[in-house]
Structure 1
Amino acid sequence: MDDSIEIAASHGRSFAGHIALPAHRPAPGLVLLHDIYGIDEPIKAMARRYAEEGYVVVVPDLYWRLSPRKLFKRHGDDVTLAHEFNRLLDVDHAVDDINSTFEALRDHPAHDGKIGVLGFGPGGKLAVLAAAYTDVDCAVGYCGASLEAHLSDARRLRCPVVLHLSGRISSAHDVLMRGKIRAAFEYKPGVTIYEYECGEAFTVPGPEFDRPSAALSYSRSLSLLKKTMGPIYAIERVWKRHSYHKYVTRDADAVMSTMVDDPYFNDVPTMTGGIGRESLRRFYVEEFMHSFPPDAQHVPVSFTVGVDRIVDEFVFRCTHTCEMHWMLPGVEPTGKYFEVAMVAVICFRGDKIDNLHVYWDQATVLAQIGMLDTAGLPVVGIQSARKVLDIARPSDTLMPGMSGGDDKPG
Structure 2
Amino acid sequence: MPEATVPIELVESPEGSGAAIVLVHEIFGRSQYMRTRARDLAALGYTVALPQLYWRIGADAVDENGDDSLERGVAMMRQVDWQQAVDDVRLVIASLRREPRTGGRVALVGFCFGGGLAYAALQGAADGERADALVSYYGSALPNLVDGEAVTVPSLHHFGDADAYLTSDAVEHICEVVQHNGAEVKLWQGAGHAFDNPAPQFHHAQASDAAWEATVEWLRTHYPA
| Category of TM-score, reference length = shorter chain | 0.7 to 0.9
> Is the counterpart of residue 206 in structure 1 residue 180 in structure 2?
no
Alpha-carbon distance in structure 1 between the residues aligned to 2:95 and 2:104: 14
Identity %: 22
**Residue number among 185, 189, 207 corresponding to 1:193 in the alignment:** 185
Residue deviations 1:117-165 (CA, integer Å, cap 9, x gap)? 0000110111222233332100011125532111213x42131111112
> 1:142 corresponds to which residue?
137
Superposition pairs of residues 89-128 of structure 1, within 5 angstroms: 89-128=80-119
> 1:271 corresponds to which residue?
none
> 1:26 corresponds to which residue?
17
> 1:47 corresponds to which residue?
38
Specify every segment of 5 or more residues in structure 2 that has no aligned partner in the other structure, as ranges: none
* Richer in strand (by share): 1
Residues 115 and 140 in structure 2, CA contact (< 8 A), matched pair in contact too: no
Alpha-carbon distance in structure 2 between the residues aligned to 1:145 and 1:114: 26
CA-CA distance at 1:17 after TM superposition: 1.1
Give the aligned length.
218
Residue type at the aligned position of 1:29: A
Alpha-carbon distance in structure 1 between the residues aligned to 2:98 and 2:213: 29
Superposition pairs of residues 6-405 of structure 1, within 5 angstroms: 7-8=3-4, 14-67=5-58, 69-74=59-64, 75-134=66-125, 135-153=130-148, 155-166=149-160, 168=162, 174-189=167-182, 191-196=183-188, 197-207=190-200, 208-231=202-225
Residue deviations 1:361-410 (CA, integer Å, cap 9, x gap)? xxxxxxxxxxxxxxxxxxxxxxxxxxxxxxxxxxxxxxxxxxxxxxxxxx
Alpha-carbon distance in structure 2 between the residues aligned to 1:203 and 1:7: 30
Name the Cα RMSD after superposition. 2.2
Residues 17 and 45 in structure 2, CA contact (< 8 A), matched pair in contact too: no
Alpha-carbon distance in structure 2 between the residues aligned to 1:20 and 1:205: 21
Of the two structures, which has the highest relative contact order with CA contacts closer than 8 Å and spacing of 6 or more? 2
> 1:355 corresponds to which residue?
none
CA-CA distance at 1:224 after TM superposition: 2.9
* Richer in helix (by share): 2
Alpha-carbon distance in structure 2 between the residues aligned to 1:167 and 1:144: 14
User: TM-score if structure 1 supplies the norm length?
Assistant: 0.50
Residues 158 and 187 in structure 2, CA contact (< 8 A), matched pair in contact too: yes
Alpha-carbon distance in structure 1 between the residues aligned to 2:223 and 2:169: 35
Residues 168 and 198 in structure 1, CA contact (< 8 A), matched pair in contact too: yes
Residue deviations 1:231-252 (CA, integer Å, cap 9, x gap)? 3xxxxxxxxxxxxxxxxxxxxx
SS in 1 for 2:135: strand
CA-CA distance at 1:24 after TM superposition: 1.4
User: TM-score if structure 2 supplies the norm length?
Assistant: 0.87
Alpha-carbon distance in structure 2 between the residues aligned to 1:7 and 1:59: 13
> 1:317 corresponds to which residue?
none
Specify every segment of 5 or more residues in structure 1 that has no aligned partner in the other structure, as ranges: 9-13, 232-410
SS in 1 for 2:174: helix
Residues 113 and 140 in structure 2, CA contact (< 8 A), matched pair in contact too: no
Alpha-carbon distance in structure 2 between the residues aligned to 1:144 and 1:193: 12
SS in 2 for 1:110: helix
Alpha-carbon distance in structure 2 between the residues aligned to 1:60 and 1:31: 8
Give the stretch that moved more between structures: 156-165 or 179-188: 179-188
Larger radius of gyration between Structure 1 and Structure 2: 1
Alpha-carbon distance in structure 2 between the residues aligned to 1:27 and 1:145: 29
